[in-house]
Amino acid sequence: GAVVSQHPSRVICKSGTSVKIECRSLDFQATTMFWYRQFPKQSLMLMATSNEGSKATYEQGVEKDKFLINHASLTLSTLTVTSAHPEDSSFYICSARDRGGYGYTFGSGTRLTVV
Amino acid sequence: SQQGEEDPQALSIQEGENATMNCSYKTSINNLQWYRQNSGRGLVHLILIRSNEREKHSGRLRVTLDTSKKSSSLLITASRAADTASYFCATDQAGTALIFGKGTTLSVSS
């Protein structure tokens, strides 16, 4: 079945640095990628939607200059957390839809800890 | 953005008992999906029910959907300790992102 590989699975970074999270669709073309954030003991909150070759659409309250999303190819989307702060510590997870628009495939998530 | 609520927020039962979780949503949907998430881990897709379906079964799982009430329920029969996890419903409004409910944390003790 469809697989989305998300890396890294865990990352610890210092305040003020940037962290890049990658999601790759391994056996299908991900025309649309969704990025979610999940704080401890909470649900997944949609951060942004990106379509290949287009600018991402951010949900209300999500800073687009802080969370940079690149979806330059049909198999790779990246989320860069810029100038990370401890409050950015969270679980980030991507989800991809293919050309046919059927089904959502989730990555395994990235646990970001900012110290 | 979130579609709605799940209840209960937390549920504790004994092994062998049934667990029922409910989900309500706000807008029209194409389908509704249930996911499981073990602590600190990714999502596991459990079951999808389309808007024109009323009930669906998969192993020990039974899902119902009432589009008139905009609600769904997930029943896990004969629960096991391994079923301990958080359960989320997620709605698909056609072409947009899945929107998740707040989730139910299930604890099954042996």
Summarised one tens digit per residue, pLDDT across range A8-55 is: 999 999 999 999 999 999 988 888 999 999 999 999 999 999 988 888
Chain B contact present for A44, CB below 8 A: yes
Q: Which residues pair with B66 in a beta bridge?
A: B71
**Segment A50-85, tens digit of pLDDT:** 988 888 999 999 999 999 999 989 999 999 999 999
Chain B neighbors of A41, CB-CB under 8 A: 105
**Segment B17-45, tens digit of pLDDT:** 999 999 999 999 999 999 999 988 999 99
Chain A neighbors of B100, CB-CB under 8 A: 36, 43-45
Q: Is the peptide bond before A40 cis (omega within 30 degrees of 0)?
A: no
Kindly give, in sequence order, each residue whose CB lies less than 8 Å from that of residue A37, ignoring residues fewer than 6 positions away: A44, A45, A47, A90, A91, A92, A93
- Give A52 to chain B, closest Cα distance, Å: 15
- For residue B104, which of B6, B5, B33 has the smallest C-alpha distance? B6
Read off the pLDDT of each residue in A81-90 and give the average, rounded to a whole number.
97
Neighbours of A89 (CB within 10 A): 17
Percent with pLDDT over 70 in chain B: 95
Which pLDDT value is given to residue A85? 97
Which pLDDT value is given to residue A10? 97
Which pLDDT value is given to residue B4? 64
Ordered DSSP codes for B19-78 = EEEEEE-SS--SEEEEEEE-TTS-EEEEEEEETT-SEEEETTEEEEEETTTTEEEEEE-S
Q: How far is CA A17 from the centre of its chain?
A: 17
Percent with pLDDT over 90 in chain B: 83
Which pLDDT value is given to residue A105? 92
- For residue B37, which of A101, A49, A91 has the smallest C-alpha distance? A91
Which pLDDT value is given to residue B30? 92
